């Protein structure tokens, strides 16, 4: 695996695909700088080598050129974070971009306009990718968030760099962390899958059964399993058409020697709101009119014990409706257990949209081993797929 550490960038222009798809408020102020900070180590290494940096990214889902999706809005923030005055090219290909890239001096940084102002980007257009390739000597992919897309800047452009391409340090870290779970995890390996729906995670569950010793199935997903086994789930969310599949997953797990753990009790609410009345119920006996919204106290204790005896942990998806303060307790308890296990030497990876939001919101982000930056890319990796953006560099 070739990374930026294997290359001396002195006198070279690096064309880096970063993920600067950051949230902006109505005044175009960046409200979460995580993604810009995540790209910093790669940019700094290249500058310190004596190279120059051309940054390319998408922002949002523009239909053609739309000012509100212009990357010019983030130039100041990127400059502040990198500590270098970043130049801006008001186009990502063609004369303007080529002139700006050719005038760029070593030690300087150029940010190109939003790639998705061109439909060719998401179509993976080869001619467009070739135009991008003119803007640098070495192609660096540092965007895990888009590595599952065969877009021009994430995948197709790599073919124009023959040997002159590599992974940035962020993408390399993502690959190494996933490998620690999927290939070389120290046993016992535990996966915790939560969230709303079984259907969105079936392929992950099936793939992960070959890799783990324990699997915790929590959150809204668990009720499909409970109902399939004959439990009474009241008004809890459930995918009735996935009950057969749930039973099949339990059978597969048994055959593979994987221990599955589903909550034994829940916090049930009499409606889906933070100020609902609540009671603690056996998960198999939730009264009509009540729905399970969080893991109960016994479940939290059981999960705590499993987490603490695991040496490798993957966490994807919350254990309850964590967006509502009163139903966040199970997710917070799990975060605390994982933080403690991590302190004692366990490797822990948190990935997938909502669990990442949860670890950030509750302050666990620096208490786990690694927080992934890619939602869809993470899920596809866990499904066992090879991501096109990663393959293009390895080729």
| Footprint of ligand AMP (CB under 6 A) | 195-197, 200, 219-220, 237, 292-293, 317-318, 320-321, 323, 352-354
The runs of H, that is alpha helices, within 257-352 are 297-309, 329-343
Residues in the chain: 395
Can you tell me which residue has the tokens 């790639």?
115
Given the residues 2, 134, 360, 376, the one annotated as active site: 376
Nearer to ligand AMP, 120 or 354 (CB): 354
Nearer to ligand AMP, 195 or 231 (CB): 195
> CB of 21 within 8 A of CB of 145?
yes
Q: Give Cα 387 to chain centroid, integer Å.
A: 13
149 is catalytic: no
Can you tell me which residue has the tokens 């940096």?
53
The CA distance from 326 to 293, in Å, is 9
Nearer to ligand AMP, 320 or 388 (CB): 320
Nearer to ligand AMP, 118 or 290 (CB): 290
DSSP per-residue codes, 162-179? TT-EEE-HHHHHHHHHHH
Query: Measured from the CB of residue 104, what is the shortest distance to ligand AMP in angstroms?
Result: 41
The CA distance from 313 to 272, in Å, is 30
Query: Measured from the CB of residue 376, what is the shortest distance to ligand AMP in angstroms?
Result: 11
The CA distance from 378 to 307, in Å, is 21
Nearest partner of 152 among 102, 118, 111, judged by Cα: 118
The runs of H, that is alpha helices, within the chain are 34-49, 75-82, 94-103, 119-123, 126-133, 169-182, 202-208, 222-228, 243-256, 297-309, 329-343, 353-361, 376-382, 388-394
197 is catalytic: yes
Nearer to ligand AMP, 150 or 357 (CB): 357
107 is catalytic: no
376 is catalytic: yes
The CA distance from 42 to 20, in Å, is 14
Question: In this chain, which residue has its C-beta nearest to ligand AMP?
Answer: 195
What does residue 83 show for φ and ψ, rounded to 5 degrees?
85, 20
Query: Measured from the CB of residue 140, what is the shortest distance to ligand AMP in angstroms?
Result: 30
* Cβ within 8 Å of residue 35, ≥6 positions away: 18, 19, 20, 21, 22, 145, 373
> CB of 182 within 8 A of CB of 274?
no
Residue 261: cis peptide before it, omega within 30 degrees of 0 = no
Query: Measured from the CB of residue 89, what is the shortest distance to ligand AMP in angstroms?
Result: 36
Query: Measured from the CB of residue 65, what is the shortest distance to ligand AMP in angstroms?
Result: 32
* Cβ within 8 Å of residue 117, ≥6 positions away: 62, 64, 65, 66, 69, 92
- Count of other CB atoms within 10 angstroms of residue 197: 16
Given the residues 2, 40, 197, 367, the one annotated as active site: 197
Given the residues 40, 134, 353, 360, the one annotated as active site: 353
Nearer to ligand AMP, 185 or 375 (CB): 375
Nearer to ligand AMP, 265 or 354 (CB): 354
Given the residues 35, 165, 201, 211, the one annotated as active site: 35
Q: Give Cα 105 to chain centroid, integer Å.
A: 34
Nearer to ligand AMP, 80 or 270 (CB): 270
- Rg over alpha carbons for the chain, rounded to the nearest Å, is 23
Supply the residues annotated as catalytic: 35, 197, 353, 376
């Amino acid at each position: 695996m070739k990374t930026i550490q294997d290359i001396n960038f002195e006198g070279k222009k690096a064309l880096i695909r970063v993920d600067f798809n950051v949230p902006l408020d109505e005044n175009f102020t960046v409200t979460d700088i995580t993604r810009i900070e995540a790209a910093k180590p790669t940019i700094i290494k290249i500058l310190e080598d004596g190279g120059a940096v051309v940054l390319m990214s998408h922002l949002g889902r523009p239909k053609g050129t739309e000012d509100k999706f212009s990357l010019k809005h983030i130039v100041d923030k990127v400059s502040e974070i990198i500590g270098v005055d970043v130049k801006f090219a008001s186009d990502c290909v063609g004369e303007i971009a080529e002139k700006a890239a050719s005038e760029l001096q070593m030690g300087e940084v150029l940010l190109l306009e939003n790639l998705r102002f061109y439909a060719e980007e998401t179509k993976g257009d080869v001619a467009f990718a070739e135009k991008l390739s003119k803007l640098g000597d070495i192609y660096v992919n540092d965007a895990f968030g888009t590595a599952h897309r065969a877009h021009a800047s994430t995948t197709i452009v790599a073919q124009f760099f023959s040997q002159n391409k590599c992974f940035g340090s962020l993408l390399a870290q993502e690959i190494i962390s996933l490998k620690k779970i999927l290939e070389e995890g120290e046993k016992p390996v535990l996966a915790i899958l939560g969230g709303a729906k079984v259907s969105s995670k079936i392929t992950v569950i099936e793939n992960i059964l070959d890799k783990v010793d324990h699997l915790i199935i929590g959150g809204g997903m668990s009720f499909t399993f409970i109902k399939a086994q004959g439990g009474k789930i009241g008004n809890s969310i459930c995918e009735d058409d996935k009950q057969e599949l749930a039973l099949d997953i339990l059978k597969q797990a048994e055959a593979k020697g994987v221990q599955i753990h589903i909550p034994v009790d829940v916090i049930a609410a009499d409606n889906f709101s933070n100020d609902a009345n609540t009671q603690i119920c056996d998960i198999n006996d939730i009264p009509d009119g009540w729905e399970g919204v969080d893991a109960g106290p016994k479940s939290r204790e059981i999960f705590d014990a499993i987490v603490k005896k695991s040496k490798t942990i993957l966490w994807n998806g919350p254990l309850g409706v964590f967006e509502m303060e009163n139903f966040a307790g199970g997710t917070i308890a799990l975060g605390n257990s994982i933080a403690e296990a991590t302190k004692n030497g366990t490797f822990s990876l948190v990935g997938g949209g909502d669990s990442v939001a949860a670890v950030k919101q509750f302050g666990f982000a620096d208490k786990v081993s690694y927080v992934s930056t890619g939602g869809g890319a993470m899920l596809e990796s866990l499904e066992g797929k090879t991501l096109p953006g990663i393959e293009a560099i390895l080729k």
